[in-house]
């Protein structure tokens, strides 16, 4: 039970850090006076990290008062972690490609925290946290519903505002439908791969530990 209390405190700390990073990123973007700053909530990273704050706060309460997480919470956490971890991987790829093209990308400390440090720490916690349940395999296809829905709204909204959160979604910055479909397919494959790894980890228990029901 003491280990659960420790992880409850860590979940609270993670929620606080994520909130601070989101607030800083919002005002940093607004200070740039660009359309990207004005569309802060349009980013998949921002939306998924807002969900992460909520799930970490819920998880902290569960860790303080229950010896194990309920099944619904483990499922919800797996979904949110899939989105935040994949968003971090995609952002790293975007920064890397921008560097190859000689394009400057400013990355404030809040972006480092949201895209790199928080996904890494939450992935580690997923491995180590005591008392969370095995996650069913249907989480993998369900994890794709959010990026698909977000992508649909983004593509519908993009022409009206003249802006897209990520360059590979912008028809003006890709060579045509084949490149768009390829990059979108790769992105969805990464979401599915991350969800698959999280499910596998949740179903593997250390030797001698009694598995919780799936």
Q: How far apart are CA 163 and CA 36, in angstroms?
A: 8
- Categorize the per-residue pLDDT at 209 as very low, low, confident or very high, splitting at 50, 70 and 90: very low
pTM over 0.85: yes
Angle at 123 between CA 193 and CA 97, to 5 degrees: 60
Q: 214 or 199: whose pLDDT is higher?
A: 199
Checking if the pLDDT of 190 tops 60, the result is yes
Q: How far apart are CA 166 and CA 85, in angstroms?
A: 16
Q: How far apart are CA 75 and CA 62, in angstroms?
A: 14
What is the CA 99 to chain-centroid distance, rounded? 23
Predicted pLDDT at 130:
67
Tokens of 148: 């698909």
Are the CB atoms for 68 and 133 separated by under 8 Å? yes
Tokens of 82: 């899939």
Checking if the pLDDT of 104 tops 90, the result is no
DSSP alpha helix (H) spans, the chain: 2-31, 35-38, 44-65, 71-100, 109-112, 118-128, 139-142, 145-161, 177-203
- Categorize the per-residue pLDDT at 197 as very low, low, confident or very high, splitting at 50, 70 and 90: very high
Predicted pLDDT at 210:
44
Q: Calculate mean pLDDT across residues 149-155.
A: 94
- Categorize the per-residue pLDDT at 205 as very low, low, confident or very high, splitting at 50, 70 and 90: low
Q: 148 or 204: whose pLDDT is higher?
A: 148
The number of helices, as runs of H, and strands, as runs of E, in the chain is 9, 0
Checking if the pLDDT of 196 tops 60, the result is yes
Mean of per-residue pLDDT scores for the chain: 86
Predicted pLDDT at 207:
44
Are the CB atoms for 89 and 147 separated by under 8 Å? no
Predicted pLDDT at 4:
84
Unique residue bearing structure tokens 């560097």: 99
Q: Calculate mean pLDDT across residues 79-101.
A: 82
Counting residues of the chain whose pLDDT is more than 90, the rounded percentage is 46
Q: Calculate mean pLDDT across residues 124-144.
A: 87
Nearest to 119 by CA among 188, 60, 48: 48
């Amino acid at each position: 039970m003491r280990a659960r209390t420790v992880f409850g405190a860590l979940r609270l700390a993670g929620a606080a850090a994520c909130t601070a990073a989101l607030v800083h990123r919002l005002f940093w973007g607004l200070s740039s006076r660009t359309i990207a700053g004005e569309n802060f909530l349009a980013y998949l990273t921002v939306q998924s990290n807002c969900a992460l704050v909520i799930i970490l706060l819920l998880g902290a309460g569960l860790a303080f008062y229950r010896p194990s997480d309920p099944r619904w919470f483990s499922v919800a956490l797996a979904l949110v972690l899939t989105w935040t971890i994949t968003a971090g991987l995609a952002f790293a790829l975007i920064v890397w490609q921008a560097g190859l093209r000689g394009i400057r990308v400013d990355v404030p400390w809040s972006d480092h925290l949201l895209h790199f440090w928080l996904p890494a720490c939450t992935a580690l916690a997923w491995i180590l946290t005591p008392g969370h349940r095995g996650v069913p395999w249907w989480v993998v296809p369900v994890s794709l519903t959010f990026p698909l829905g977000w992508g649909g709204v983004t593509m519908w909204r993009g022409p009206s505002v003249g802006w897209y959160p990520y360059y590979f979604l912008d028809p003006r910055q890709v060579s045509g439908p084949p490149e768009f479909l390829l990059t979108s397919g790769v992105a969805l494959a990464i979401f599915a791969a991350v969800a698959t790894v999280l499910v596998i980890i949740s179903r593997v228990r250390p030797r001698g530990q009694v598995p919780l029901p799936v």
